[in-house]
Amino acid sequence: MSNHVRIALDAMGGDHGPPVVIGGAAIAFDRHPEVQFVLFGDETAIRAELGRYERLAAAARVTHTDVAVRMGDKPSQALRQGRRRSSMWLAIDAVRQGAADVAVSAGNTGALMAMAKICLKTMEGIDRPAIAAVWPTLRGECIVLDLGASIGADAHQLVDMAIMGAAMARVIFDLERPSVGLLNIGVEEVKGVEEVREAGRQMRELDLPNLEYVGFVEGDDIAKGTVDVVVTEGFAGNIALKVAEGTARQMGEYLRAAMSRTWSARIGYLFARGALQTVRDRMDPREFNGGLLLGLNGVVVKSHGGTDAEGFANAIDLGHDVVRHELQHRIAAGIARHAAWIERRVGREAAS
């Protein structure tokens, strides 16, 4: 387990840029004073914010660039204009060069994924990376992936995601054998598309020792916390994420409107304020900010673009924790077992 973590930050990413990034770094630095930060972006703007945080300023290094990826840029446009020069690319490249252990950006998701794939490449045995995030549930938390790194997935890729998600759950939740489910339109083995059914068959036959495959799960099982890891392809995963975010906002608006409608409701709010605050804290999206780009030769964390400093600090915390607990090595070991199983299976089929 590594205690010394170097974190590269895309200081220009997100809706708010340096104020949120530097503010988040200051909060994270209070929690992890051993961390070293490398900040990439407009040095004048970065130094202006660092002036507010004396301790962070003494422990941070700044690399100037005047190129930043805009939130509305297409990935291809960002690659053409910002490759090798933008704050986003430089933060990722610091990981590739070994100058940092993790890169964190609140910037354009498509551009971040494209740059990370080109700069870091995928791990041996991984066809494509996935975005994984922690999700609040009635039982606590679970991990859901893929949340939009790519569209579609075959059975082999779904199994790889299950292995990566389980490795992340062992790190984040400190579980010896996390439970894993494949998202489907029903729990029966005959339901769903062939790719999902075949992935289920492979998961049962693999019987990996460091995860418990429980079968198919449905959409409502995510919020129930039925399993520790929910696996799906990026199209469905991204829709599920956006629906959950929208529903949370909708319920919040309904509650605010109901509590202010009448005098009796307002009085009732005074008595229920503590309980409502607990619910609000439990559903606070800042607490679950940070999507991990799994399957790359390096650790990259995507923060929500519109988050505040506290939310960005939580994204930094995620990167810090997975580096300290050597997530990359755990994923590589699991993928190697999967590859060996596939090789044995092909050999048996050829012999027969």
* Helical axes 109-120 vs 75-82, angle rounded to 10°: 60
pLDDT tens-digit readout, 88-101: 999 999 999 999 99
Q: Is the dihedral of CA 250, 252, 253, 258 positive or negative?
A: positive
Is pLDDT above 70 for 277? no
pLDDT averaged over every residue in the chain: 87
**β-strands 212-217, 60-64 pairing:** unpaired
Q: What is the mean predicted confidence (pLDDT) over 48-73?
A: 92
**Cβ contacts of 59 within 8 Å, gap of 6 or more:** 29, 33, 35, 36, 37
Q: What is the dihedral of CA 70, 41, 284, 235, to 10 degrees?
A: 40
Q: Closest Cα to residue 319, out of 2, 3, 1, 5?
A: 5
Q: Closest Cα to residue 212, out of 166, 172, 144?
A: 166
pTM of the model: 0.86
Phi-psi region of 121 (alpha: psi -120 to 50; beta: other; left: phi over 0): left
Contact 143, 172 (CB under 8 A): yes
Taken in order of first residue, the domains within the chain and their CATH numbers are 1-121+295-325 (3.40.718.10), 127-294 (3.40.718.10)
CA distance 124 to 118: 14
**Cβ contacts of 298 within 8 Å, gap of 6 or more:** 92, 95, 96, 102, 103, 116, 120, 328
> Quick one: pLDDT at residue 125?
84
More confident residue, 191 or 265: 191
Is pLDDT above 60 for 275? no
> Quick one: pLDDT at residue 276?
54
pLDDT tens-digit readout, 148-188: 888 889 999 999 999 999 999 998 999 999 999 999 999 88
